């Protein structure tokens, strides 16, 4: 804090309670000027490149490979060779050791990864440091524990690896999504070709050095970078046995159409338009913190974000008042500043989409409130936003905005809350705030959402499965359920298999 003044008794008393800057040092991260692709345990030069930037400043960070179909095929060939040449037959306890090593190295290098994640992605450093990195390491630890217990995970069946997994991850949680996908694939005995998002490739490329430290056999994990055309090449590659995709519903549908009839396994984790439901008996201050965490965490770049707030009519005014007061305390700014609560929007394209949908909300008649804050002049920024007087038919209540924008609706009865919450093509998550345990169970039974949080929001754990219904995709990641998409399950001989 700044601006201290002397009182009569010579004590120092702050007259301005604003936070002084507390930037995290960038020098812990060393970036190469140019990156190729990590194939067969080695770096190969990229025939084509593009520039990845910091969304907070628009400064160029590095030249990154734009993988061609030939380079993707090279990565798939390396993954197939590693699978056939021994990884699939490595003893499960040995596979577990590699996963444990990866987890420990991630913990040891957590600060380096956190800084790079915030630098390349725009999210606040305290989120990268306190959420993304601990969870990424925890997933490798968790699946290391399952690697030699697959027969117990799926009793009366013979679990076998399926082969080469093609994995395409999004830009909102680059390292965490990498961990969600690579850890269960390796634990099950598969090899991997992974493509990080076009705008956030740097932590995946740094992860290649973790693989080197862990002495993972060459070709078990291959990482190629590029845009959607690179992802499409992975989807259509003949040597890939399973596709795992996290991203937009539109792209997920295209992948499903492409794979129809091919026999390739597929899991999709797509968009969401989650309802965060506040009942009149909820602890309101706690609920307001859950609302803020549900929609402004990671700038709203969260597929399960609580972007629709359903408030029981009798407490509508106090909830809105408390929420607006809380928004006034959010600090928007430099992602590397440890005081920042809301960072930069990930890309110019995403910022334009957010602006378009917010303008549509105003045109349709919703009332907008934006937190008072000064946005930086350079970079991609959007102030935390709340819409009231929202109708179910408005675009802001139907379409995934994927930004720090909250739409508030009301309800009178639990039945109406369920009806409104389920009135969406999506079904990824929901939140319920009430002191009644019976009501939580009643709501959870009726909400068509893969995850229902009770008196909390955005709480993740490696042992808990995550995934959606309807246009939010199918398949689960995390927990024992997250192993199943990476295994061929045959009936045990004891049961006539």
Tell me the C-alpha distance between 447 and 1, whole Å.
Answer: 45
Q: What is the pLDDT of residues 167-186, one digit of tens each?
A: 999 999 999 999 999 999 99
For residue 392, what pLDDT is reported? 96
Cβ-contact 198, 227 below 8 angstroms: yes
Catalytic residue among 71, 127, 198, 303: 303
Strand partners, 386: 369, 406
Tell me the three state secondary structure of residue 391: coil
373 is catalytic: no
| Alpha-carbon radius of gyration of the chain | 23
H-assigned helices in 25-148: 69-84, 92-108, 110-121, 125-127, 133-146
Tell me the C-alpha distance between 355 and 377, whole Å.
Answer: 17
For 74: left if phi > 0, alpha if psi spans -120 to 50, otherwise beta; the answer is: alpha
Q: Which of 439, 450, 388 is nearest to 417 (CA)?
A: 439
Cβ-contact 381, 157 below 8 angstroms: no
For residue 1, what pLDDT is reported? 44
What percent helix, strand, coil does the chain show, rounded to 5? 40, 20, 40
For residue 493, what pLDDT is reported? 53
Q: 490 pLDDT band (50/70/90 cuts)?
A: confident
Q: 491 pLDDT band (50/70/90 cuts)?
A: confident
Tell me the C-alpha distance between 50 and 476, whole Å.
Answer: 33
Phi then psi for residue 461, to 5 deg, are -150, 140
Q: pLDDT exceeding 70 applies to what percent of the chain?
A: 95
Catalytic residue among 24, 127, 269, 477: 269
Evaluate if residue 12 carries a pLDDT over 60: yes
DSSP string over 448-478: --SEEEES--S---TTS-B--SGGGEES-BS
For residue 18, what pLDDT is reported? 76
Evaluate if residue 34 carries a pLDDT over 50: yes
Tell me the three state secondary structure of residue 385: strand
Q: Which of 197, 46, 184, 63 is nearest to 117 (CA)?
A: 197
Report which secondary-structure segment, H or E, holds 427. none
304 is catalytic: no
Cβ-contact 489, 150 below 8 angstroms: no
Round the average pLDDT of the chain to a whole number and report it: 95
Evaluate if residue 2 carries a pLDDT over 50: no
Mean pLDDT, residues 151-156 taken together: 94
Q: Which of 150, 197, 134 is nearest to 170 (CA)?
A: 197
Evaluate if residue 492 carries a pLDDT over 80: no
Strand partners, 408: 309
Count the residues in the chain. Answer: 497
Domains and CATH numbers, the chain: 37-270+471-488 (3.40.605.10), 275-461 (3.40.309.10)
For residue 496, what pLDDT is reported? 45
Mean pLDDT, residues 142-165 taken together: 96
Cβ-contact 176, 204 below 8 angstroms: no
Tell me the C-alpha distance between 19 and 26, whole Å.
Answer: 20
Mean pLDDT, residues 417-428 taken together: 97
* Bridge pairing between strands 221-223 and 191-195: parallel
Evaluate if residue 416 carries a pLDDT over 80: yes
For residue 291, what pLDDT is reported? 98
For residue 497, what pLDDT is reported? 43
Mean pLDDT, residues 92-97 taken together: 97
Tell me the C-alpha distance between 381 and 321, whole Å.
Answer: 25
Q: 14 pLDDT band (50/70/90 cuts)?
A: low
- Residue 131 DSSP code: I
Q: What is the pLDDT of residues 286-316, one digit of tens each?
A: 999 999 999 999 999 999 999 999 999 999 9
Tell me the C-alpha distance between 355 and 168, whole Å.
Answer: 27
Mean pLDDT, residues 403-421 taken together: 98
Evaluate if residue 350 carries a pLDDT over 90: yes
Terminal C-alpha separation, the chain:
69
Mean pLDDT, residues 20-28 taken together: 93
Number of Cβ within 10 Å of residue 362's Cβ equals: 12
């Amino acid at each position: 804090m700044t601006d201290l003044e002397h009182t009569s008794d010579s004590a120092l008393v702050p007259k301005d309670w604003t936070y002084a800057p507390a930037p995290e040092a960038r020098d812990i991260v060393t970036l190469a000027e140019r990156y190729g692709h990590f194939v067969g345990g080695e770096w190969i030069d990229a025939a084509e490149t593009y520039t990845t930037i910091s969304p907070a400043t628009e400064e160029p960070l590095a030249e990154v490979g734009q993988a061609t179909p030939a380079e993707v095929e090279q990565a798939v060939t390396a993954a197939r060779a590693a699978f056939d040449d021994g990884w699939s037959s490595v003893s499960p306890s040995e596979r577990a050791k590699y996963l444990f090593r990866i987890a420990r190295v991630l913990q040891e290098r957590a600060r380096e990864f956190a800084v790079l994640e915030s630098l390349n992605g725009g999210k606040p450093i305290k989120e990268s440091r306190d959420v993304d990195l601990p969870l990424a390491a925890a997933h490798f630890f968790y699946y290391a524990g399952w690697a030699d217990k697959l027969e117990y995970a799926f009793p009366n069946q013979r679990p076998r690896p399926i082969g080469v997994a093609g994995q395409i991850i999004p830009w909102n949680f680059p390292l965490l999504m990498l961990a969600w996908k690579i850890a269960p694939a390796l634990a099950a005995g598969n090899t991997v070709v992974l493509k990080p998002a076009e705008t956030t490739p740097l932590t995946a490329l740094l992860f290649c050095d973790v693989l080197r430290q862990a002495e993972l056999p060459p070709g078990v994990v291959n990482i190629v970078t590029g845009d959607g055309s690179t992802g499409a090449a992975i989807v259509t590659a003949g040597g890939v046995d399973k596709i795992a995709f996290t991203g937009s519903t539109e792209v997920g549908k295209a992948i499903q159409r492409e794979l129809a009839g091919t026999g390739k396994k597929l899991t999709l984790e797509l968009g969401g338009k989650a309802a965060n439901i506040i009942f009149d008996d909820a602890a309101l201050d706690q609920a307001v913190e859950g609302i803020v965490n549900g929609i402004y965490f990671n700038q709203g770049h969260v597929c399960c974000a609580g972007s629709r707030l359903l408030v029981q009519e009798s407490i509508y005014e106090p909830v809105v008042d408390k929420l607006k007061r809380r928004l006034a305390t959010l600090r928007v700014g430099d992602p590397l500043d440890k005081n920042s609560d809301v960072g930069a929007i990930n890309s110019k394209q995403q910022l334009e989409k957010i602006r378009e949908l917010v303008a549509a909300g105003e045109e349709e008649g919703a009332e907008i409130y934006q937190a008072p804050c000064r946005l930086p002049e350079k970079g991609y920024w959007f102030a935390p936003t709340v819409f009231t007087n929202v109708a179910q038919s408005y675009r802001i209540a139907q379409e995934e905005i994927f930004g720090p924008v909250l739409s508030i609706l009301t309800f009178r009865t639990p039945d109406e809350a369920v009806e409104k919450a389920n009135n969406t093509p999506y079904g990824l998550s929901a939140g319920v705030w009430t002191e009644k345990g019976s009501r939580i169970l009643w709501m959870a039974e009726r909400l068509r959402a893969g995850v229902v949080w009770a008196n909390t929001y955005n709480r993740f754990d490696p042992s808990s499965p995550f995934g959606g219904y309807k246009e939010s995709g199918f398949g689960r990641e995390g927990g024992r359920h997250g192993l199943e998409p990476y295994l061929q399950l045959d009936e045990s001989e004891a049961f006539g298999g």
